[in-house]
Chain A
Amino acid sequence: MTDINNNQENVSPEMRKPRRPSRENVETETQKTEGETQVSENTGERKPRRPSRESVTNNDTSQTQSTRSSRRSSSSRPPRKPKKNQIPIGIAVLLGMIIFTIYLSITVSGHLALFFVVGSAFGMILQRARFCFTASMRDPYLTGSTSVTRAALIAFAITSIGFTAIKYGYFRAGLPIPGMGFVAPISVATAVGAIIFGIGMVIAGGCASGTLMRVGEGFHMNMLVFFFFMVGSLWGAYDFGFWKRNFMLAGPSVFLPDLFGWAGGLLVNLLIIAILYVLADKWEKRKNANSH
């Protein structure tokens, strides 16, 4: 199943209809049972989707009813209240960021400004695509959805191809290979740290990049997470000597090309990714079949 790129913003009154396309997908399945009545019942405008108020009063307390009806009138056809337009503020922020970039390149260095620009690009991409590494690890278990997981695997595949090409270029030129600091020693500390990190990110509702992104999106909760992320980092840095002496020093750092050669190392990496992709795909289908 492909990723759904839902255009949730197209909700101007006339755009009510997009809801029907999604209906057609299921029509084939539902038609045999109650689909007939469903379809005929719902071909009208909006009413059938939001059941009549009488039935609501029967089912709900009158208090929610009153808020609901007011909400409904605000969101039903023409009298939708105009939203505030935040685009001008966005453009002001953009200008501020440009000025900050120029300021950095003049007062410190253009290279430092580059980090700010690339960071902004990461922030925008994460927010635009709602890309979430937490979801990539959590959703397969929690909801059975693997669309984010598969996207993350695609990112790993593309990036490892690019990285390997760059590193190979340095290797060919006889230069020290860049980014080797990210080939970390494998030890109990890796396992313990990853488990603790995994638990923390699901509870906190965002990983490291996700926390930053949500701070930008205005989540107070993630600002708190952010502060305690720093506290935890400091605590981890304090204990780092202990983990280093007892575990990390004995842990091997394994760079796949050292074992399999450049092409072999990349292929092994891509093979693992491909296997995981297939598993993720199968897992989602199995979960779906079970739930129906």
Chain B
Amino acid sequence: MSKEVMLDCLGEACPVPLVKAEGAIKDLEVGDVLVVQIDHSCAVKNVPEWARKEGHFVDIEEVDDGEWEIIIEKAK
């Protein structure tokens, strides 16, 4: 069964969300979903960029003013 993991990076500045996401996705199986919560505008750009480059499926949701969830499905 695939699972969904939340990664709370609220209040964290670059590059912490990216490094944490990299670490978290390693422990997941293909098909699992990692949701990174972010309120740092730069990380909204570099986390998806990294994830897309890695070949994962990425979606960004604006949850609130200045708050986002980046939904990454591990693809490989």
Contacts and interface: CB of A to CB of B under 8 A. Distances in A.
Let me know if chains A and B touch directly in the complex, using CB atoms closer than 8 Å: yes
Contacts of B31: 34, 38, 41
A196 interface: no
Interface string A195-230: 000000000011000000010011101100000000
Interface residues on B, range: 35 or more
Contacts, number: 134
A6 interface: yes
B48 A84 contact: no
B60 A6 contact: yes
A59 interface: yes
Interface string B21-52: 01000000011110000000110111011101
Interface residues of A, number: 58
20 contacts: A6-B45, A6-B60, A8-B48, A8-B68, A9-B62, A22-B52, A26-B56, A34-B31, A41-B31, A42-B73, A50-B33, A130-B44, A139-B15, A139-B46, A143-B15, A143-B18, A143-B46, A219-B13, A221-B11, A288-B53
Interface of B is mostly: mixed
A282 interface: no
A84 B55 contact: no
B58 A58 contact: no
B13 A23 contact: no
A51 B2 contact: yes
Contact of A25 (B1, B48, B55): B55
Contact of A75 (B22, B42, B52, B69): B69
Nearest to B1: A55
Interface of A: 1, 3-4, 6, 8-9, 11, 16, 18-19, 22-23, 25-26, 29-30, 33-34, 38, 41-42, 49-51, 55-56, 58-60, 64, 68, 71, 75, 83-84, 86, 127, 130, 132, 134-135, 138-139, 142-143, 145, 147, 205-206, 214, 217-219, 221-222, 288, 291-292
Contact of A206 (B13, B18, B33, B44): B13
Given A132-B14, A138-B15, 13 more contacts: A9-B62, A11-B61, A11-B62, A30-B76, A59-B4, A64-B6, A86-B65, A130-B41, A134-B14, A135-B14, A139-B46, A142-B15, A218-B66
A142 B2 CA distance: 29
Given A55-B1, A84-B65, A142-B19, A135 B42 contact: yes
Closest A-B pairs by Cβ, 10 of them: A205-B13, A8-B60, A55-B1, A19-B59, A59-B3, A26-B55, A130-B42, A51-B2, A130-B45, A4-B49
Contacts of A51: 1-4, 32-33
Which one of B14, B60, B69 has the highest number of Cβ atoms from chain A below 10 Å of its Cβ? Answer: B14
A26 B57 contact: yes
B46 A56 contact: no
Interface of B: 1-6, 11, 13-16, 18-19, 22, 30-33, 41-42, 44-46, 48-50, 52-66, 68-69, 71, 73, 75-76
A49 B65 contact: no
Given A75-B69, A86-B65, A16 B30 contact: no
A68 B7 CA distance: 12
Contacts of A218: 66
A24 B6 CA distance: 25
